[in-house]
């Protein structure tokens, strides 16, 4: 039986969601969420990572080291297989190494840089183990 995988990013709306869908296509049961509250037009859009998500997961994939620190401050991760990457989806950071993307919509950054980076980062860990 494949392990259950929780994917975590800052807001729970882009990187963790993409990675969860990618792993689901490979047969894993997945969930995703974020660790930092984000208000947008006065509405909370964060898909919070909850204690029950941590308890449910066998493997936790976190997209940035600083987010692991935040997550550990909220929940114990003892006994979990935790995988940490350093993958941003911030266009202001990405454009420093990819100036050809200056002025492009965020969707282009994701399709050309962020999503391939997530796939390339997780693939060496497959198959995931508890």
Is the distance from CB of 47 to CB of 70 less than 8 angstroms? no
Q: What is the DSSP letter of 124?
A: G
DSSP 14-64: SHHHHHHHHHHHTT-EEEEEESS--EETTEE---B--HHHHHH-SEEEESS
Listed by start position, the domains of the chain span 4-125
Return the CA Rg of the chain: 15
Asked if the bond preceding 127 is cis, omega within 30° of 0, the reply is yes
Please state which CATH class domain 4-125 belongs to. alpha beta
Whole-model pTM: value is: 0.92
Is the distance from CB of 42 to CB of 67 less than 8 angstroms? no
102-121 in b/e form (b: 16+ CB < 10 A) is eeeeeeebbeebbbebbeeb
pLDDT in tens, the chain (130 residues): 899 999 999 989 899 999 999 999 999 999 999 998 665 555 666 678 999 999 999 999 999 999 999 999 999 999 999 999 999 999 999 999 999 999 999 999 999 999 999 999 999 999 999 8
């Amino acid at each position: 039986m494949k392990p259950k995988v929780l994917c975590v990013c800052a807001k729970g709306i882009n990187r963790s969601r993409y990675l969860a869908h990618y792993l689901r296509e490979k047969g894993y049961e997945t969930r995703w969420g974020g660790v930092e509250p984000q208000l947008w037009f006065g509405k909370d859009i964060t898909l919070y990572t909850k204690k029950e998500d941590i308890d449910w997961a066998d493997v936790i994939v976190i997209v940035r080291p600083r987010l692991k620190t935040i997550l550990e401050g909220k929940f114990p991760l003892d006994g979990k297989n935790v995988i940490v990457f350093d993958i941003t989806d911030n266009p202001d950071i990405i454009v420093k190494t990819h100036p050809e993307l200056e002025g492009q919509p965020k969707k282009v950054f994701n399709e050309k840089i962020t999503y391939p980076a997530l796939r390339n980062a997780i693939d060496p860990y497959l198959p995931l183990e508890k």
